[in-house]
Amino acid sequence: MFSSKRHTCYVSDFFEVEHVRRMKNRGADNRKSGDLEGAIQHFEWALAISPKCTTCLKDLGEVYLAKKDYSRAENYMRTALDLLDGKDSDALFTLGIILSEQGKDAESIEAYRQSISINADDAELCYNLGVKLGAKGDAIAERELYEKAVSIQPSMGRTWINWGISLAEAGNLDLAEEKFLRCIEYAPKFVPDAMLNLSLVYQSKHNQVMGQGLVQEGRENGLKASDWLENAKQWMDSSAAQILSKEELEKQRNSYNGL
């Protein structure tokens, strides 16, 4: 015999959830097309229906970050994190970027640290935290994070470059050379930058040994410095350089500065 008690169908709840979903999807479409104002409008409509929608809050934070309205971006991201008990790695990562853009370095580092404690396998996160710690003078932690980043994503050329520069600045030219060579191997887009830095490594070696009176070794290092510089110029002038935008190529041409 069937029970006479039936479950109630909460039609209004269903339509509320569906309406929020549609507003979020439209906001996402606006965002993809570059219509940030339209995205904000749709995300705010969704949030008005469901004030505790954490994805709406995070979306709004990311859109305001794109608009460089860092104060609003921070407010939305912190509200989302409060609702999530601070346990969302992506939100913490974005908060770290927002805080960094505002010059709040200590808070940015803390946000990145919290994010990495939840998800240690995010290469971009490891890189960003490494950059921040390097700027604070913690070169050892910086290099450990770069090592972690490229172990996750070897094609991160800027990580190999930063790692090599950090080692060179610490006087470890041989290890620095190794990182720049790995950059050439794994990250074609950064080949000219790696070659320029290899030229600088050999120029530094040249200066060191010449100061010790080792003339022949100094000459050899000087020739290698010249070779790497010429290789960089040829690369930038070759068809391979087409993988770079005109702006990036010009930046590479002007990047021959001291380590």
Determine the Cα–Cα distance for residues 259 and 248; give it in Å rounded to an integer.
Answer: 20
Burial of 186 (0-12, 13-18, 19+ CB in 10 A): middle
What pLDDT is stored for residue 11 in this prediction?
39
Domain boundaries, the chain: 16-102
Determine the Cα–Cα distance for residues 1 and 23; give it in Å rounded to an integer.
Answer: 44
Fold of 16-102: 1.25.40
Mean pLDDT, range 48-71, rounded to an integer: 94
Residues in the chain: 259
Least confident interval from 133-137, 148-152, 210-214: 210-214
What pLDDT is stored for residue 17 in this prediction?
74
Q: With bands split at pLDDT 50, 70 and 90, how would you rate the model's confidence at 13? A: low
